[in-house]
């Protein structure tokens, strides 16, 4: 029999996990995550009804139904570190008895499906602002994912790790103290989720691109934004990412969460994917207009909801 998890390792207060603040029955098996807490209501406005709403720190979770499908939307705040908390505690709600602190029998646990609805920048000149970027792989330029010993998902991940490391190191000037310190890791979205997102974007006639998402834990230096007074380790990171290729795959966008999400969620046997509109054209130095941004985010939500429902319907039919 499994031993209870120590109170210091998984903090549970009054039946609620410590950071996201939910009880086990306040989280559905279909979950949308979004960095911006303000986007939670934009997603939940599409629900048929709302059963619960929990707010703690930057984590706001609304659970209800969409076209009869149980569903939750959770804000995580920005960055891979925040998503580390969100994923681990959502998993705890799903796979650990919060009263006894003992893992449930895996055969009695329904795997989660998690889709990130975010925003991103685009390093490719031909992927224009407003395009929906759908992640098939993620390149982790953060250090959160390497805290977990999940091996590369496939040969593409191994090749991506090697090629990205070589290109980033070559782009770091000789004599830079941190040259060679940035060692990327790669993770893979669930193909079934990628296909569902791409299919719905196609059906709705929304411009979209499928490929690698680069994830960092920094908005400025980690994404190569050049701000006076803050010298960068890698001076031309967007250019490096624009040129990076693994077979037919290329980097379609840059954001701050997906590498860790894919690493952890697939590692514990869950399905996951990400869809983000491109709102910053890094090659052109442009940023999306407010009305176009709002339209692009609404399209992202529409595609995400339709894809999740498609997956849910197929699960029930099988």
pLDDT in tens, 161-193: 999 999 999 999 999 999 999 999 999 999 999
183 and 287 in a common domain: yes
Tell me which residue range forms the domain holding 5.
Answer: 1-110
At residue 1, the pLDDT reads 47
pTM over 0.85: yes
For residue 60, name the pLDDT band (cuts at 50, 70, 90). Answer: very high
Distances from the Cα of 46 to the Cα of 12, 39, 123, 198, angstroms: 31, 12, 32, 20
For residue 28, name the pLDDT band (cuts at 50, 70, 90). Answer: very high
The Cα 132–Cα 122 span in angstroms is 10
156 and 20 in a common domain: no
Of the chain, the end-to-end C-alpha distance in Å amounts to: 32
Q: What pLDDT, in 10s, does the model give residues 40-49?
A: 999 999 999 9
166 and 104 in a common domain: no
The domain spanning residue 65 has which CATH number?
3.40.50.1580
105 and 195 in a common domain: no
* Domain-terminating residue out of 42, 77, 110: 110
13 and 41 in a common domain: yes
216 and 156 in a common domain: yes
User: Phi first, then psi: what are they for 307, rounded to 5°?
Assistant: -65, -45
259 and 129 in a common domain: yes
SS3 content of the chain, % helix, strand, coil (to 5): 35, 25, 40
Distances from the Cα of 306 to the Cα of 60, 116, 173, 223, 258, angstroms: 22, 14, 46, 31, 20
Quickly list H helices, 11-154.
38-44, 80-95
How many domains does the structure of the chain reveal?
2
Per-residue DSSP letters for 39-51?
HHHHHHTTSSEEE
- Residues contacting 284, CB < 8 A, separation 6+: 125
For residue 2, name the pLDDT band (cuts at 50, 70, 90). Answer: confident
For residue 50, name the pLDDT band (cuts at 50, 70, 90). Answer: very high
Q: What pLDDT, in 10s, does the model give residues 200-232?
A: 999 999 999 999 999 999 999 999 999 999 999
- Residue 29 half-sphere exposure, CB side, CA atoms within 13 Å? 15
At residue 318, the pLDDT reads 85
Q: Is the pLDDT of residue 288 over 70?
A: yes
313 and 202 in a common domain: yes
User: Phi first, then psi: what are they for 281, rounded to 5°?
Assistant: -90, 100
Torsion sign over Cα 245, 251, 256, 257: negative
Looking only at Cα atoms, what is the longest distance across the chain? 60
At residue 285, the pLDDT reads 96
Q: What pLDDT, in 10s, does the model give residues 98-111?
A: 999 999 999 999 99
At residue 194, the pLDDT reads 98
Contact (CB, 8 A) for 302 and 204: yes
Residue 288: name the closest of 62, 124, 128 by CA.
128
193 and 316 in a common domain: yes
* Domain-terminating residue out of 94, 110, 126: 110
At residue 49, the pLDDT reads 97
Q: What pLDDT, in 10s, does the model give residues 87-139?
A: 999 999 999 999 999 999 999 999 999 999 999 999 999 999 999 999 999 99
Distances from the Cα of 147 to the Cα of 60, 85, 182, angstroms: 26, 13, 15
At residue 235, the pLDDT reads 85
């Amino acid at each position: 029999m499994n031993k209870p998890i120590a109170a210091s390792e998984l903090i549970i207060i009054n039946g609620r996990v410590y950071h996201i603040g939910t009880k086990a029955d306040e989280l559905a098996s279909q979950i949308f995550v979004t960095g911006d807490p303000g986007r939670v209501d934009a997603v939940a406005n599409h629900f048929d009804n709302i059963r619960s709403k929990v707010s703690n720190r930057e984590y706001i979770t609304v659970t209800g139904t969409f076209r009869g499908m149980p569903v939750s939307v959770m804000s995580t705040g920005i960055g891979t570190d925040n998503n580390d908390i969100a994923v681990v505690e959502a998993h705890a709600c799903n796979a650990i008895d919060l009263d006894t602190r003992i893992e449930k029998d895996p055969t009695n646990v329904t795997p989660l499906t998690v889709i990130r609805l975010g925003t991103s920048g685009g390093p490719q000149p031909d992927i224009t602002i407003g395009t929906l970027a759908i992640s098939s792989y993620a390149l982790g330029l953060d250090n959160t994912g390497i805290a977990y010993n999940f091996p590369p998902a496939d040969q593409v991940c191994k090749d991506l790790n090697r090629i990205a490391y070589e290109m980033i190191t070559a782009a770091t000037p000789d004599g830079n103290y941190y040259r060679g310190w940035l060692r990327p890791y790669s993770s893979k979205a669930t193909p079934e989720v990628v296909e569902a997102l791409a299919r719905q974007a196609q059906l709705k006639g929304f411009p979209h691109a499928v490929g690698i998402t680069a994830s960092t834990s920094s908005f400025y230096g980690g994404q190569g934004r050049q701000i006076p007074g803050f010298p960068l380790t890698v001076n031309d990171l967007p250019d490096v990412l624009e040129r990076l290729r693994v077979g037919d795959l290329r980097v379609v966008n840059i954001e701050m969460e997906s590498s860790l999400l894919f690493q952890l969620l697939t590692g514990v046997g869950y399905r996951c994917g990400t869809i983000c509109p491109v709102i910053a054209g890094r090659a052109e130095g442009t940023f999306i207009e407010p009305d176009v941004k709002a339209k692009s985010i609404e399209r992202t939500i529409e595609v995400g909801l339709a894809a999740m429902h498609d997956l849910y319907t197929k699960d029930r039919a099988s």
